[in-house]
């Protein structure tokens, strides 16, 4: 995840260069508020009706649609993933009886929610596995305390989008089920995982007792979702209207649900291009989804200056932030490809990245 705003004196100057771009390597391009609202307005159908405190045709039809796509009995739309995942794990803790859950050290709930599970639900987390690697069966078998649920993230964003093999994933889910432990999926980027597994979304989700997907939607069997709706109300999550967010989510799903295979194929090509450039590497290589981490053996400030210079000259934003690594002179950024990359050929990406590396190289004495 990109860092907080920098106090770097050059940050404003670089920001001007990056904001002037009309082509982008990552994502889906610049989106203005006006364009976003226009897309939502275009999505409205004559049959749509505003929801009222989580009840209404448009909202409830969308929940049914997502549940059917993912092969689950029921679904509930929530204002945020943070709320959805707290609720998901609270229900399992109440059912199984242990106030402990297990997840990876880079889990979103660990890094970005200010210990919400502990403070709001009294749930203790057990960190499983190594920070830079996927959870393994050995890691699960080494659990020293009983847990009610294990959260698995598909793909594992903070380490570059790694995914376990299908065999490893099914083995871990079966192991947990045999132990009476519930398996919950943080599937914020589940759509990105499908090309790697070459399985249907329903087949992937069938391994899990509950599933969260960005939007935000929580899925499970009917009784589970009935409980989730009660907890949603307790969290203040039954807003008077959800329909603006629902319309945006529905439009995005329609627009991109069939594109993830092509995003993944392009990520494989881009990774090959970048990894052929001296002092550039990617991980995973090849990518498991359409995201990867790109590592540059460069001084962070010099590389950002070079990227800003290319942005100014070519109106192309390759990257706009860098995270320094433990190894001196190495930094990285997260690259997630989307619609924007269609405006850039592999040859142009190669040329522009080589220019950044040349501009940021330290001249020898």
> Residue 332 sits in a domain of what CATH number?
3.90.1150.10
> Considering only CA atoms, which of 215, 214, 220, 157 is closest in space to residue 183?
220
Beta bridge partner(s), residue 292? 335
Contact 24, 352 (CB under 8 A): no
Q: In this structure, are residues 355 and 302 in contact, taking their beta carbons and an 8 Å threshold?
A: no
- Rounded distance, CA 232 to CA 176, Å? 27
Closest CA to 284 of 133, 103, 105: 133
- The answer as to whether 215 is a domain residue is yes
Which regions of the chain are under pLDDT 50? 364-365
> How does strand 217-220 pair with strand 74-77?
antiparallel
Quick one: pLDDT at residue 3? 53
Say yes or no: 58 and 203 in one domain: yes
pLDDT tens, position by position, 101-136:
999 999 999 999 999 999 999 999 999 999 999 999
Looking at residue 31, its pLDDT comes to 83
CATH, residue 189: 3.40.640.10
HSE-CB of 121 using CA atoms within 13 angstroms: 28
Q: Judge if 171 and 282 occupy the same domain.
A: no
pLDDT at position 362, please? 82
The encoded tokens of residue 104 equal 């990876």
Q: State whether 128 and 75 are in the same domain.
A: yes
Do 27 and 87 belong to one domain? no
* pLDDT for the residue 5: 59
253 falls within a domain: no
State whether 209 and 108 are in the same domain: yes
pLDDT of residue 26: 98
Q: What is the pLDDT of residue 165?
A: 98
Give which of 202, 143, 139 is closest to 171, Cα–Cα. 139
pLDDT at 4: 61
Q: Is the dihedral of CA 32, 36, 38, 42 positive or negative?
A: positive
pLDDT value at residue 349: 98
Q: Where does the chain have alpha helices with state H?
A: 11-19, 33-43, 57-70, 81-96, 108-111, 116-121, 137-141, 166-178, 190-197, 201-205, 222-234, 243-256, 260-275, 300-314, 346-359
Residue-level pLDDT at 30: 86
Classify each residue of 118-139 as buried b or exposed e, where b means 16 or more C-beta atoms within 10 Å of its C-beta: eeebebebeebbeeeebbbeeb
Q: What is the pLDDT of residue 364?
A: 44
Closest alpha carbon to 50 in 337, 247, 331: 247
Give me the domain span that covers residue 318: 11-32+259-359
- Structural domains in the chain (count): 2
Distance separating alpha carbons of residues 218 and 74, to the nearest angstrom: 9
Its pTM stands at: 0.94
**319: in domain:** yes
Domain-embedded: residue 195:
yes
pLDDT (0 to 100) of residue 87: 98
Q: Which positions ≥6 away from 335 have C-beta within 8 Å?
A: 25, 26, 270, 282, 291, 292, 293, 294, 319
Residue partners of 163: CB distance under 8 A and separation at least 6: 134, 154, 155, 156, 169, 193, 196, 197, 288, 289
Cα distance between residue 175 and residue 188, in whole Å: 23
- Burial of 309: CB neighbours in 10 Å, binned 0-12, 13-18, 19+: middle
Would residue 246 count as lying in a domain?
A: no
Q: Does 189 map to a domain?
A: yes
Paired with 212 in beta bridges are: 186, 218
The answer to whether residue 44 is domain-embedded is: no
Three-state DSSP class for residue 246: helix
DSSP annotation of 247 reads H
Structure tokens at 259: 């594109």
End-to-end CA distance of the chain: 37
């Amino acid at each position: 995840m990109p860092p907080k705003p920098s106090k770097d004196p050059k940050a404003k100057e670089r920001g001007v260069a990056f904001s002037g771009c009309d082509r982008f390597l990552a994502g889906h391009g610049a989106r203005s508020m006006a364009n976003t609202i226009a897309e939502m307005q275009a999505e409205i159908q004559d049959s749509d009706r505003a929801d009222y405190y989580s009840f209404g045709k448009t909202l409830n039809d969308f929940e049914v649609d997502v549940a059917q796509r993912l092969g689950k009995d029921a679904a509930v739309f929530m204002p945020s993933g943070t709320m959805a995942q707290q609720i998901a794990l609270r229900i399992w803790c109440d059912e199984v009886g242990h106030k402990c859950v297990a997840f990876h050290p880079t889990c979103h709930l660990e890094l970005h929610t200010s210990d919400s599970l502990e403070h709001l639900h009294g749930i203790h987390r057990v960190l499983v596995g190594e920070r830079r690697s996927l959870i393994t069966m050995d890691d699960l078998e080494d659990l020293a305390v009983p847990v009610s649920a294990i959260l698995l993230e598909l793909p594992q964003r903070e380490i570059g989008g790694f995914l376990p093999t299908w065999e490893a994933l099914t083995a871990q889910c079966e192991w947990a089920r045999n132990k009476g432990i519930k398996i919950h999926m943080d599937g914020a980027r589940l759509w990105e995982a499908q090309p790697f597994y070459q399985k249907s979304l329903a087949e992937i989700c069938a391994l899990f007792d509950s599933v969260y997907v960005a939007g935000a939607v929580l899925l499970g069997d009917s009784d589970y979702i009935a409980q989730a709706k009660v907890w949603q109300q307790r969290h203040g999550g039954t807003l008077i209207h959800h329909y603006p967010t629902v319309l945006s989510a529905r439009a995005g799903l329609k627009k991109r649900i069939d594109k993830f295979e092509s995003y993944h194929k392009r990520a494989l090509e881009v990774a090959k291009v970048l990894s052929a450039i001296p002092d550039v590497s990617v991980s995973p290589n090849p990518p498991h989804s359409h995201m990867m981490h790109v590592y540059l053996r460069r001084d962070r400030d010099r590389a950002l200056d070079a990227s800003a210079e290319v942005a100014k000259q070519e109106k192309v934003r390759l990257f706009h932030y860098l995270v320094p690594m433990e190894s001196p002179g190495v930094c990285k950024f997260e690259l997630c490809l989307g619609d924007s990359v269609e405006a850039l050929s592999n040859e142009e990406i190669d040329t522009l990245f080589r220019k950044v590396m040349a501009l940021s190289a330290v001249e020898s004495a």
